[in-house]
Amino acid sequence: MPTSILKIALDLPLDRLFDYLSNGQQAHIGQRVLVPFGRQKLIGIVIAKASSSDLAAEKLKTVIQVFADELPIDAETLSLLKFSADYYQYPFGQALLSALPVRLRQIAPAVSRKQYAYHLTELGRLVDPATLPTRQLVLRRLMQALQTHNSLTELDLDAISTSARKLAKQLVTDGWLVSEQVPAIIKTLEVLMPAPPALNDEQSLAVARITQEVQIFKAWLLHGITGSGKTEVYMRLMQYVLESQQAQILVLVPEINLTPQLEARFRSRLTNFPLVSLHSNLSESERLHNWQLAQSGAAKIIIGTRLAIFTPLPQLKLIIIDEEHDSSYKQQDSMRYHARDVALVRAKRLNIPVVLGSATPSLESWHNAIANAQQTNKYHLLSLQQRAVSAAKLPHIECIDTTKVNLQHGLTPQLIAALKLRLARKEQSLLFINRRGYSPVLLCSACHWIAPCTRCSSRLVVHLGQRKLRCHHCGQEQKIPSQCPSCGNADLHPMGYGTQRLEQTLAELLPTARIARVDRDSTSRKNALVEILDQVHKQEIDILVGTQMLAKGHDFPNLTLVGVMDTDSALHSPDFRASERLFAQLMQVAGRAGRADKAGQVIIQTQFPEHALFNALRSQDYASYANALLLEREQVQFPPYVFTALLRAEANDFSLVQQFLRYAFEQARNLSNDVLVYDPVRPQMERLKGMERGHLLMQAASRVALQRLLKHLVSLLRAQATAAKVRWAIDVNPLEF
């Protein structure tokens, strides 16, 4: 007699499914189950069903529990994750489980956060707040608010009084109110949105072109200068899709700090469509709740960072990728997927459009778009070359040669004068320095000793406020020494500038200025960034000092000056993508200035003001610079003209890394004549977090040839003896070498 067998994916570094006997409970494909594995109990996902003879099944273990009250993961999401795991050479079970909220990986029923809204009953509507006793102030305010707004969430109640929630529950018992469960909402940025602006000709054309072909797969590259109104185009497209069909829309953003402002704008305009966000700044219960609302189809707009691309969305009709060039879309550990590329695969499978927006598209996307007219037919280019606010002009960009002026605490006289002028005008300024901490180096004036990290091939950064030296790669900390460990000299100097030192310098130079620092240290507390951005919009901050967290996406109407410090190191980096990243970063941060009716100015401090990158930046000519970089890439056969994969390996003992990579090198050379395999080398950061590192680069003119090689190579590496002693991973299409 046939026996029912379930094939289950588990979170294990083994690229296979595991067979278990059904326990008699109904289990669907995609259902979450609890199974025994050795001495452990593990959460798994049912991937397939089979039947077998009792004799063949007698050695199999039985499923412990089926979580039947949860929606199963749909076939489309499972298929997308299987494709991604295969393409990025990662075990399917690990890829699948890591894409789920943490609560769904735990051995317990998935209970999400609950939130309630309160409405007046017929009895409650008969109550006149003016007749209530004056001493019952909270009750009067609560009833007045309900009669004005019809419905109040728990966040609304908290704004009335700390006791309002308890009072509302009592009024439900008394029959004045009725409660209902609603999507949990976290604090968002308050943005007062005026009536929708009239679209200019370029925006209208972009919206018309996409909406005409909204029922089929097409990849649209929306290349718009900073302030050109890309977000307004997104909102018009979203409104059209949501109103014309039963639909869900996925909006991907590169980093958490972009979600508050974007979420607030969408909520204020698309009020009839439930919206949730998915990112790592949510609590586990909030993330689970939002994920379940998306999975059920209840949430119509989903804003998320890269992992959101794997969210089950039964009615998905449009994908928007904001700042598509951003490297944050590339996962740098576990399954090293690129969310933009996975989004394109998902959109093609569903036959829906995908919109990639950026002022500085990645060279891969730009190449796909400009080559479209000739042969590739991949991306369709739409351009927005004027700012959406008619009075807004592109900022004037000026490069100051720091070798020809005397710096005052790292600032040129021109930048200091510009800051003082903005303070006098009551306008806002932003100083960009992509280095947090007080100072990047602690230097001995006698023997030139520099404080090193003992676990990484890097230097310790000075954090003066905490009197600490800290490694920004591994997190190692130590107290600032009172004398040089090498020669005993007590004269130790912080060299260079970080955000903390710049903030302190500005406070001394401009004592009346209200200064806020935005970096990973200052925004680690939940909602800290939302509160700072709120202060900026309310004109409570004069000068922002920040890292790349402030370089993109934010819209500050009163910000008219951007100062850029210390970017020269990227001009001479061995990384072939460094100049592309720097140009995008500077274009983005320059675009924060002069976005409304006030003229903007950008001052860049550099030792190389005549560099080609700065010449292109001054003319705001992305296309010419991108085309020049593509020509260089084609001549030396770098991506996007070739396809690459990097085998990364690390261990406590470098000889093990050498042995493992040498074996991989020999096998790869023997497996394919169509793939160029380079000799194993050490990366620039030779040691990281105490591990000795090495890597092996593979390059091919054909994606198919590279994938064929990787499939066979990974199988050989998993069976190799040294592999168990080495931590290794395949990085397909690596962004960093």
pLDDT given at position 596: 65
When pLDDT is averaged across residues 60-89 and rounded to a whole number, the result is 94
Candidates 393, 348, 374, 341; CA nearest to 602 is 393
Confidence of residue 706 (pLDDT cuts 50, 70, 90): very high
pLDDT given at position 302: 96
pLDDT given at position 193: 56
Candidates 686, 694, 661, 418; CA nearest to 559 is 418
pLDDT given at position 595: 65
Confidence of residue 643 (pLDDT cuts 50, 70, 90): very high
pLDDT given at position 386: 82
- The answer to whether residue 498 scores a pLDDT higher than 60 is yes
Rounded Cα–Cα distance for residues 527 and 257 (Å): 10
- The answer to whether residue 408 scores a pLDDT higher than 90 is no
pLDDT given at position 1: 47
Domains in the chain, start-ordered, CATH in brackets?
A: 2-105 (3.40.1440.60), 115-182 (no CATH), 201-256+297-384 (3.40.50.300), 396-439+496-632 (3.40.50.300), 643-732 (3.30.70.600)
Confidence of residue 35 (pLDDT cuts 50, 70, 90): very high
pLDDT given at position 112: 62
CB 302 within 8 A of CB 295: no
CB burial class (10 A; 0-12, 13-18, 19+) of residue 280?
exposed
CB 595 within 8 A of CB 613: no
Compute CA 410 distance to the chain's CA centroid, rounded to the nearest angstrom.
31
pLDDT given at position 635: 94
- The answer to whether residue 330 scores a pLDDT higher than 60 is yes
- Write phi, then psi, for 36 (nearest 5 degrees): -80, 140
Residues 6+ apart with CB under 8 A from 631: none
| Token pair belonging to 604 | 């860049």
DSSP 395: P
Confidence of residue 572 (pLDDT cuts 50, 70, 90): confident
643 vs 593, more confident: 643
pLDDT given at position 225: 84
DSSP 124: H
Rg of the chain over CA atoms, in angstroms?
28
Q: From edge to edge, which strands make up the β-sheet containing 461-463?
A: 461-463, 468-470, 477-479
Looking up tokens 């510009």 gives: 418
pLDDT given at position 86: 97
Q: Considering the chain, what is the average pLDDT of its residues?
A: 88
pLDDT given at position 156: 83
Rounded Cα–Cα distance for residues 7 and 14 (Å): 14
pLDDT given at position 210: 96
Residue type, 346: R
When pLDDT is averaged across residues 479-496 and rounded to a whole number, the result is 88
The model's pLDDT over 212-258, given as tens digits with 9 standing for 90+, comes to 999 999 999 999 888 788 999 999 999 999 998 899 999 999 988 77
CB 592 within 8 A of CB 563: no
Rounded Cα–Cα distance for residues 59 and 42 (Å): 19
- Write phi, then psi, for 699 (nearest 5 degrees): -140, 135
- The answer to whether residue 593 scores a pLDDT higher than 80 is no
The model's pLDDT over 516-565, given as tens digits with 9 standing for 90+, comes to 988 877 777 777 777 888 888 888 999 999 887 776 656 777 888 999 98
pLDDT given at position 277: 93
The model's pLDDT over 184-198, given as tens digits with 9 standing for 90+, comes to 554 444 555 567 888
pLDDT given at position 529: 77
When pLDDT is averaged across residues 692-706 and rounded to a whole number, the result is 96
pTM of the entire predicted model: 0.85
Bond into 640 cis (ω within 30): yes
When pLDDT is averaged across residues 405-432 and rounded to a whole number, the result is 91
The model's pLDDT over 248-299, given as tens digits with 9 standing for 90+, comes to 999 999 988 777 778 888 888 888 888 999 988 888 888 998 999 999 998 9
Residues 6+ apart with CB under 8 A from 178: 118, 119, 120, 121, 172
| Token pair belonging to 315 | 């009615």
Rounded Cα–Cα distance for residues 369 and 358 (Å): 13
Q: Long-range contacts of range 706-709, CB-CB < 8 Å, 24 or more positions apart? A: 706/643, 706/644, 706/645, 706/675, 706/732, 707/87, 708/672, 709/668, 709/671, 709/672, 709/674, 709/675
pLDDT given at position 636: 92
Give 400-441 as a DSSP string: EETTSS--BTTB-HHHHHHHHHHHHHT-EEEEE-S--SSBSE
Q: From edge to edge, which strands make up the β-sheet containing 396-401?
A: 396-401, 601-606, 559-564, 428-432, 543-546, 515-518
Candidates 90, 119, 125, 106; CA nearest to 41 is 106
Segment of 335-344, 407-416, 456-465 carrying the highest mean pLDDT: 335-344
